[in-house]
Each structure stands twice: as C-alpha cells, then as structure tokens.
A and B are shown apart, each in its own frame.
Chain A
Amino acid sequence: MAKNNQHFFDNPRNVQIILYLLYASCVLLFILDFIIHRHTYHHWEGLLGFYAVYGFIGCVVLVLIAKWMRTFLMRDEDYYDREELDPVEVSKEEGEKHVV
C-alpha cells in the first residue's frame, strides 16, 4: 500500500487494471470451455458456457429480485426498536474510542 495518504484504490487506474484482469479472466475461462471437455451428468451442464451464463444470470436475477423485495420488506431502522426498547436507550459502542 502506498504512503502519503494515497492508497492503492484511490487511483482510478488501479481499479481499472483490476477490472480488466477480471474481464480477461472471464474471456479466458469462456474460451477454456471450448478446449477442455467437461464430463457431465446432466444435459444442461453440457451446454456451451453453461456455468458462466448461469452464474451471471443467476446473480443479476438475485440482485434484481432482492431490490424489488425492498419495496415491500424495507422499514425504518428503528422499526422494532421503537416498540421494544426504552425511548431513552441510546448506547454508544465501546469500540468507538479506537476510531482516530
């Protein structure tokens, strides 16, 4: 990690490098699907890039559904507290003394 308050991810170039590495790995892994013959138990597994596509779509669907769930599940932070706790209860965490 760099000194002088300039940290690794403060530089957008470093973030870009990480992202390009990820993209390159994804492309490489997809190409490997053509080269390595995966032995399969189920016909879906044999589809080209099955795991890659399933992983990507699965995660997008997961996040979008979760986001939609917020519309009817999300409440204020003190939703339970305001009925369960004493209104005067305001307790500070012990750990805050470590923050500089």
Chain B
Amino acid sequence: MWSNEIPAFLPFFIGAVFALFTRGYLRGTLLLAIIALSGIHLWYVPEGVTVSFHFLDYELMPYRVDRLSLLFGYIFHIAAFIGVVYSLHVKDTMQQASSLFYAGSALGAVFAGDLLTLFVFWELLALTSVFLIWARRTERAYQAGIRYLIIQVLSGVILLAGLIAHASTSGSLSFEYIGLNGAGGWLIFLAFGIKACFPLLHNWLTDAYPEATPTGAVFLSAFTTKVAVYALARSYPGTELLVFIGATMTCFPIFFAVIENDLRRVLAYSMINQIGFMICGIGIGTALALNGAVSHAFNDIIFKGLLFMSMGAVLHMTGRMNGSDLGGLYKSMPKTAILCIVGAASISAFPLFSGFVSKSMVMSAALEEGYHWVWLMLLFASAGVFHHAGIKIPYFAFFAHDSGIRTTEPPTNMLIAMSIAAILCMAIGIQPAMLYSLLPFDTGYNPYDATHILAQTQLLFFSALAFVWLNLNGLYPPELRSVNLDAEWLYRRLFPRILSSTFRWIWQADKAVRGAALNHISNFFTYLSQQHYPGGRVSRMRPTGNMVMWVTVLLAVYTWLLLSWA
C-alpha cells in the first residue's frame, strides 16, 4: 500500500506548520488529531517497509521500518501526544511549533536507514529543541540554550566527520552495525556518546533541561537522549566498552542528585542514571540485555516524562523549583502529588510499576554474562535512584517542612496528561506482556517470580529505611541554595578564565610593545624638535662669513669635478 511509505516525521512537520498559523482550541485539536492519526497509521505499517534511492555512489534510505525503529516510533508518538496535552494551555506559538518539529525530527532519526539522513535529523533535533529552552525568556535560559546548541551541533559535526570516514573505508552509508573499527567508528561512537550523556560529556543535559520551560522540559526529556540510545543499540550492540560506560553513568550522577537543590536538575541527573542502565544493556548485547535496554528506554520516556510534568506543574503554579523553597505542597496540590508518586514508584522499579519490568532484564543479563562487579554497581544505582528520584523528589516538593506556599492544582490539561502517563506506567507494570510483544527479541522473560519481587522489594524498603534513619538522626544533607561543580566547570569557568587571562596577557604584551614603539617615536620627535628650538643644532645662529666660506668650498668642488670629467 502506497501510504505505508509516508515517513512518520512528515505528519509532525505538517502539524508544526499548522501550529504556526493557528491559535487556541483549533491548534490543540489539530495537533492532537494529527499525532493520533499518525500513530494509528504507524501501527498498521508493517515491518520491512523501506524507501531508498541512489545518490552519487551511495544508496540512501530515508525511511526504514523494522522492529527496533517501530518500538521507538510508537513511544515517540505517545510522548508527543502526552506532551501536547500537557502544553495545551501554553499560548506561545514558538513553543508549540518547535515541539512538533522536534518530535518529528526524533521520528525522522529513528526511521533513518542511512547515516546521512540520520545526520540531517540529528542536527534538526538540536536546532528545533533549543527554542524550548529559549522560550523561558530569561538571560539564564538564553545562555544555557547557547551552550546546549553548541554542544549538540558539535555532536552532529563529529557525526558527519565520522560518517565520511566510515563511508570511505566501508563504501556504505547504511545505518547498521558499525562497531569500534577505524576512525569512522570511533567518531560516530563519540557523536552518539555526546547525545547519550557519556560521563564528562553529560553536562549539557543537567545544564539546559532545568532551564527549559515547564512544558519544554517534558518534550526535551523524551527525545534527544532516547534517539542516542536507539542509535547505539543499532550500531554498537555488544560493544564491551559500553558496559563500563553505562555502569559509570548509573552511579556517578546519583551523588550529584542527592546534593542538588533544583529538583528538575535532580531529575536531569537521574535521567543520566537511567540512560546508564540502557547503555549497559546495549554493551552486554545479549537478546535479554538489548530487550531490557530498549524497553527501559520506552518506560523511561513515560515515567521520566511524568516526573518532569509533575515538577513542571509545581514550577508553573509556584514559580519555584528549589527543594529549599518548596515543601508541604500536598496540601494544595494533592492530585499532582499522587501522580508524582506514581512516577517515582515507576522509576524506582517497584513491583506493579513499569520500571520493574524493564530494568530487571538488564540486571539479570549482567549477572548471566558474568559481569558481577557491574551488577553490584547497577544494584547500588537501583537503590540510589529510589533514594533521590523516588523519595527526594516527592518528599522535598510535596512533604518535608511546610514552605507555607498555598496554591491550587495545575490546569486540567496538565492533570490529564499526567494521568495518561501514570495509567501507562501502571498498565505496563501490571501487564508487561503488552510491551514485551513489541520488543526486538522473544526471550520468554518473566519479571514476576517470587525471587525477583522479594529481592527488589527488600532493596527498596531498606533504602527507604536508610532515608528515614538518616533523616531522624539529622545526617541527611539539607537542601541548600547552591551550585555544585561538575565537569561543566571546565567550559563554564576554567576555559573562559584561561581564555580571558590569555587575552589579557596578549593585550598587555601588545600594549607594552606598542607603548615602547610609541615611546621611541615620540623620543625621536622630541629630539628633532629640540634641534629646532633655540639652542638646538639646527636653530643655531651662524655668522654670514661662514656661508661665504662654504659657498667657496662648494664652487671649488664643482670646479674640480668639472675639470676632472672634461
């Protein structure tokens, strides 16, 4: 059927254009209808559909449908739908349009069959999403957006360099398994790694997402990093380096999350932690691990979106996002509090919630493949994620000490969007077979056996006990208005300082050299003028007799010259 070959990003781009020229209810209805229709259409597109053509010596494939890309296609539709519902009250055309362009770019990237198409959508992801940060319209957001854009575009440039190198050695541009062979493979790996928040390359996320608008952060949390996870799952499955990168990513951000004050920045750190589980699964590379990685990406989009939505609702209603300023909001926002707790339970992988049915696949795979130390790290990170995302987020926003803030529940559309996400979290947790049927491999995995339920529940309850014990004994670090240094210090403080001191040095050296030269010139002129002032050699008075003598000498010389030539 010809309509199978309509690429999934096209309806979104058309919707974004509609969003530019419509307003109010019409815009909301149109956008939701377009996303819903596009989603239903995608549901009926079979695996194996491709669109390809020849370009120079290469075969380009702008649209390729297979099991892996379909899974991400479905979840991106769900995320876009929830995000648009959540932002229905927003009257900012720039945000409405760019969020649809952004979601469309993500769809374009996951259905790309060649690296050149991937590159185009990779850059579009950056260019379209930065408006969701700038839409906050503060100086801070503007600066953070610039930094975000530079890093994202840089990732694209590295991807371009990598694909050129890869194409020249392998003779193919197809977006398939690449592996760490040659410069091309490493460059593409690095480009994917920047968007996937590899350690030390991760700060763009914790820098930019908390500065985005309440609704913008919901869209941002869904797409960019998950496209990177998808790209790594397609091109680098079974790359052992990823196991260790992933394990590091699960562990280090949770320390920062515990001491971070801005609750959306806590979520940003926890996002890196969750991506770590996915990267680790991709690195292990078995069927179970890959299933775990991509299903966790699927679930993470929903529950992390839910957490970002609940914090966005708090920010929208109170204008505050720091743990030190919030607290006691369950009194005025009880529904938001409950929905936030559902998201917290899902990310913490409580049985019957979505995180439980996906994260455990990665952990089981790590054990089965003999990565025991990695498994211990993942287990520590599981306890840690409950600690900072599962407890800290709801506790400091909605409970803890009463901040005295009294507000109301957020707009209805926000509550509806959060409810859809919460229902999905629980539905997937209770009925994982629905999700499992969409996964790339059939492994017959069952998350609900007694061992797994007991082990996970023990881990979580005793983590909660640790939180209570630390809190009652005053050992828990209080929320403080502060900034914590991270790798971003290098490019936000050290490099600017080095640059400015280098330039200051150059400026001073230049000033000294030019000053010395000017000094010499002015000394010379002073000398000259001194010669012309009274007493100077040039202005000395000479008697007329001297003149007569010199004229005589001159004439004598002339005469001698004339005589000697003649």
Contact = CB atoms under 8 A, between A and B. Distances in A.
Interface of A: 1, 7-10, 19, 22-23, 25-26, 29-30, 32-33, 36, 38-42, 44-45, 49, 51-60, 62-67, 69-70, 73-81, 83-86, 89, 91-100
B305 to A, nearest CB: 20
Contact of B406 (A19, A59, A99): A99
Interface in B27-57: none
Contact of A75 (B331, B364, B455, B485): B485
Interface stretch (B242-250, B375-383, B558-566): B375-383
A62 B319 contact: no
Given A74-B482, A76-B483, A80-B483, A62 B384 contact: yes
A76 B455 CA distance: 41
B458 A49 contact: yes
A93 B315 CA distance: 9
A75 B482 contact: yes
Interface stretch (B254-262, B287-295, B353-361, B420-428): B254-262
A65 B255 contact: yes
Given A29-B458, A92-B319, A99-B319, A54 B466 contact: no
A99 B407 contact: yes
Contacts of A63: 258, 387, 466, 470, 475-477
B484 A74 contact: yes
Contacts, number: 200
A100 B409 CA distance: 12
Interface in B505-544: none
Interface string B383-406: 110010000000000010010011
Given A36-B451, A55-B462, A67-B477, 12 more contacts: A10-B402, A29-B461, A42-B367, A42-B375, A51-B458, A52-B462, A55-B459, A56-B466, A69-B259, A74-B480, A78-B483, A99-B406
A56 B380 CA distance: 10
Given A26-B461, A29-B461, A93-B320, A58 B454 contact: no
B552 interface: no
Interface size of B as a range: 35 or more
Contacts of B256: 66, 69
Contact of B461 (A25, A40, A54, A73): A25
A81 B334 CA distance: 34
B319 A96 contact: yes
B168 interface: no
Given A63-B258, A70-B259, A53 B462 contact: yes
14 contacts: A30-B458, A36-B454, A40-B451, A44-B376, A58-B466, A59-B383, A63-B476, A64-B475, A67-B477, A69-B259, A83-B496, A93-B315, A98-B317, A100-B408
- Residue among B254, B368, B483 with most chain A CB within 10 A: B483
Contacts of B492: 80, 84
B481 A77 contact: yes
A39 B451 contact: yes
A100 B407 contact: yes
B23 interface: no
A99 to B, nearest CB: 5
A95 B316 contact: yes
